[in-house]
Amino acid sequence: MIERYTRPEMGAIWTEQNKYQAWLEVEILACEAWAEIGDIPKEDVAKIRENASFDVNRILEIEQETRHDVVAFTRAVSETLGEERKWVHYGLTSTDVVDTALSYLIKQANDILRKDIVNFIDIIAAKAKEHKYTVMMGRTHGVHAEPTTFGLKLGLWYEEMKRNLERFEAAAKVIETGKMSGAVGTYANIDPRVEQYVCDKLGLTASPISTQTLQRDRHAQYLSALALIATSIEKFATEIRGLQKSETREVEEAFAKGQKGSSAMPHKRNPIGSENMVGMSRLMRGYMVTAYENVALWHERDISHSSAERVILPDATITLNYMLNRFGNIVKNLTVFPENMKRNMDRTFGLIYSQRILLALIDKGLVREEAYDTVQPLAMQAWDEQVQFRTLVDASEKITSYLTKEELDECFDYNYHLQHVDMIFERLGLI
């Protein structure tokens, strides 16, 4: 991922230095496991633990000749050791190291993402409670429907992100898995206890069965979970973009002093952060598709997945880390305009209360079809002539023969639509 979207903590996980450090740790732990079993001298392992190291430039230099990164790595490490170097990579195949180390790096990334997700959920929860009763227009098909609150809108995001956290935890459990089962997964040249030892030390689960590789459905599930989180953020960002339109202006991203919205138009205050989220979400879904393409490897392995994973796994975790933090700040600092929300509710001439009139007439004894056919022509007239719906209702002899002025006043009260807000918040646990 380009530096522009890379936060330092996550970026540090995916450096070449940290990757090779993970490889080295896997190699050393494997030696320790062999020593625990009694197959290699413990004093040799102690020397390996103390002295084994690498230089990234030296690895790259050797790789120019070997054209094999793991061979280049093990040779570079061996150059830092004495006779004990013969135990490095003992009984292993390259992917025993690479896949297990990759899962270990992903586990490190997951520790960061987990905190990011929880923090983002907390930000949404706080904003939802702040605007629990901030009444606004609910829209369906982009058209005014009935009143809701901005807090309920945020409560919806809160619940969706809680589901995303559950999906993330399930995917993390699947991906945080190691394997050290040899060239085709039969443990022909490695004791299964080595695998278990290494995985235990790294905090990974040992795969019950594998080929030369961990199966890539694991990685597909993981990137699916990350892509879905990004897509939820895109959904939330799209809502902000819609509500920030000049003709709506119900919310607005924070606009810093000195910030510029356009090189040509000095008045512009654009939802650029939310737009950024939409673009990054598209990337995340692309990474997911590539992960699905990686599932169908040939027989016990090929390396068609390898080049893709060098890009998609670091980039996906880096991108989501950036998205969660940037959009979290957008929500936290979001400017809300309650007065504009109420003003917009009045723009459709009171038509948002049409269902209340419909149901009130039914309650008075009209069948639904008759009640609907009584209300709809007045609603269409209000649309076409841009007159207040209440004025037309008051002038309707049929409606006023069933409903008193007081009953009509109740029908045109938006507070009716908020009567269950407390119950919904209680169900969400937002107390």
Torsion sign over Cα 294, 298, 304, 310: positive
**Catalytic hit among 207, 224, 246, 262:** 262
The full 3-state SS of 385-407, as one line of letters, equals: HCCCHHHHHHHCHHHHHHCCHHH
267 is catalytic: no
| Residue-by-residue DSSP string for 223-288 | HHHHHHHHHHHHHHHHHHHHHTSTTT-SEE----TT--S-SS-TT----HHHHHHHHHHHHHHHHH
Contact by Cβ (8 Å): 430, 124: no
The H or E element containing residue 144 is strand 143-149
Sequence length of the chain is: 431
Tokens for 177? 């898995």
Phi, psi of 148 (to 5 degrees): -140, -165
Cα separation, 430 vs 412, whole angstroms = 29
141 is catalytic: yes
Taking the CA atoms of residue 258, residue 263, residue 265 and residue 268 in that order, the dihedral angle to the nearest 10 degrees is: -50
Cα separation, 316 vs 147, whole angstroms = 38
Cα separation, 85 vs 89, whole angstroms = 9
The H or E element containing residue 51 is helix 42-51
**Catalytic hit among 89, 103, 131, 141:** 141
| DSSP secondary structure code for residue 425 in this structure | H
Catalytic residues: 141, 262
